[in-house]
Structure 1
């Protein structure tokens, strides 16, 4: 059994966090579980743990909680904490969502409907440095490996720094430079510099075009999301 790990469960539904906590605890031994209900809360938890001299070893991440803006949240976590593997736990089982999650940096994709044993298998694989997804998803991806426009978007977005990703996220929400500067506690000139860098890295010429690119990372809410 895998032991001695700190695992962060990030989901905005308390019942789902409880169910995942129970599943992980029943499959893995000697672990410490942390919880968050938003992307901001997840980042704060990671930072709090680091201040206390310990690291989060794995994040279980819901794609539809506050602050995520679709896959933008996954990019933000991966850029900010590249050493922490992220497992997407989602109500969606659509292949485009699974494929994009893996292409965009997730170490595993686990449907929320998975049995406890499957969740445990996924966690053990990721903690051992491997990737994991259900057999049906793996077979589909391996049999259709071609890249599409989303892959190109992923390559461009992956060039952004964590702070630039936060700025892009706020641009997508329609916030002005002044508002973004206030929320990030930096100068407006700094935000203007970030926006210029974002436009260059995304190969676009305006804020509107950058927002259009970013919105390609958004997701529709699943019909049923526990």
Structure 2
């Protein structure tokens, strides 16, 4: 039987090492895996079904703001995600909550506070710093629209946002060009967008106003 696992997804090796040290001391019953990009995050989740919690930095290569959070929540809804970010702006915290995170830990938090927050989430609770930022109806509607996409459609949408043509998307994702066309049509319909450009603008709205 495989040991229960926590996944640390952050592109800064020193921070990953520090956080894994906290995990080893506080949660010796778990092993820790690492990911340094949106792509390696997806690979780790696919290859390790024993993962019980993802600790996610939003600013990794291949991610657009909250896109990795939404992707994990859409494809692996049973795995809680705790966002760990250097951006402690109240709107960032509130948006992480609205987009399905189970917790938010500022990178400035002490090792004790990080461990306590992670324990709360492992116990099935939510763990967020207090914030006065109000929930956004626009974010709620955006999350609901994106939730309609299949995992493959979400991947196609991220490629659309990067300005890739259907042939390029097919090469990137290993899909036939006609299959990509079908996905694009479905994506635009589900997101209520009339063009690829409008869909790309929608994805851009996932990026926080004040930078992560």
Aligned to 2:99: 104
Residue 51 of structure 2: SS of its match in structure 1?
A: coil
The total of aligned residue pairs comes to: 209
Deviations 1:51-98 (CA, angstroms, capped at 9, x unpaired): xxxx10000000001111111111111111111111000000111111
Deviations 1:3-45 (CA, angstroms, capped at 9, x unpaired): x631000000000101111122222231100001011111111
Residue 122 of structure 1: SS of its match in structure 2?
A: helix
After TM superposition, where is structure 1 displaced by more than 4 Å over at least 4 residues in a row?
none
Instruction: Tell me which of 146, 154, 157 is aligned to 2:146.
Output: 157
Q: Find the aligned partners of 1:104 and 1:122 in 2 and give their Cα distance.
A: 18
* 2:78 is aligned with 1:83: yes
Q: Find the aligned partners of 1:84 and 1:56 in 2 and give their Cα distance.
A: 7
Task: Note the aligned Cα RMSD (angstroms).
Answer: 1.4
Aligned to 1:25: 24
Q: Find the aligned partners of 1:153 and 1:44 in 2 and give their Cα distance.
A: 26
Aligned to 2:10: 11
Contact 1:68 1:74 in 2 (8 A): no
Shift of 1:111: 0.3
Instruction: Tell me which of 52, 58, 69 is aligned to 2:64.
Output: 69
Q: Find the aligned partners of 2:150 and 2:91 in 1 and give their Cα distance.
A: 25
For structure 1, list consecutive stretches of 5 or more residues without a partner in the other structure: none
For structure 2, list consecutive stretches of 5 or more residues without a partner in the other structure: none
Q: Find the aligned partners of 1:133 and 1:147 in 2 and give their Cα distance.
A: 17
Q: Find the aligned partners of 2:69 and 2:63 in 1 and give their Cα distance.
A: 7
